[in-house]
Amino acid sequence: MTNKLNPKQKLFCKLYATSNEFFGNGVKSYIKAYNPNRSKPNWYKTAKTDASRLLTNANLCSYIGELLDSSGLNDAFVDKQILFLITQYSDYNSKIKAIQEYNKIKRRITETVELKSKVILLD
């Protein structure tokens, strides 16, 4: 998969997925990897847009997933963390949120939305 990515894309993914300083921050990762020209007007807005675009690229998302998985941040780890929160008895707010998240993941509870509309008939 990584052979489809150029060096800047690979660096962006590594910063985004594994660097403590940049972890999960697409804009900071983009700025570090691509070093945009800061003298241009709206350079930061452009960096935000470009980072967002990169994070929707299927090849980049796949590589980010591989990096996260290899670092131990995977489904099994998250499941253990949710289990820990569900079984603890000191922070009930966290416990409730973990139970809600578990139920959502397992699709035990579905959310419904009630829509109301008015129909206006014109003569």
Express each pLDDT in 44-93 by its tens digit. 999 999 999 999 999 999 999 899 888 877 778 878 888 888 888 888 88
Measured distance CA(33)–CA(5) in Å, rounded: 13
Per-residue model confidence (pLDDT) at position 27: 93
Structural contact between residues 83 and 94, judged by C-beta atoms closer than 8 angstroms:
no
pLDDT in tens, 36-45: 999 999 999 9
pLDDT in tens, 97-111: 888 877 777 777 766
DSSP per-residue codes, 3-59: GGS-HHHHHHHHHHHH-TTTTT-HHHHHHHHH---TTSTTHHHHHHHHHHHHTT-HH
**How many residues in total does the chain contain?**
123
The encoded tokens of residue 3 equal: 């052979």
32 pLDDT band, cuts 50/70/90, is very high
Per-residue model confidence (pLDDT) at position 57: 93
pTM: 0.64
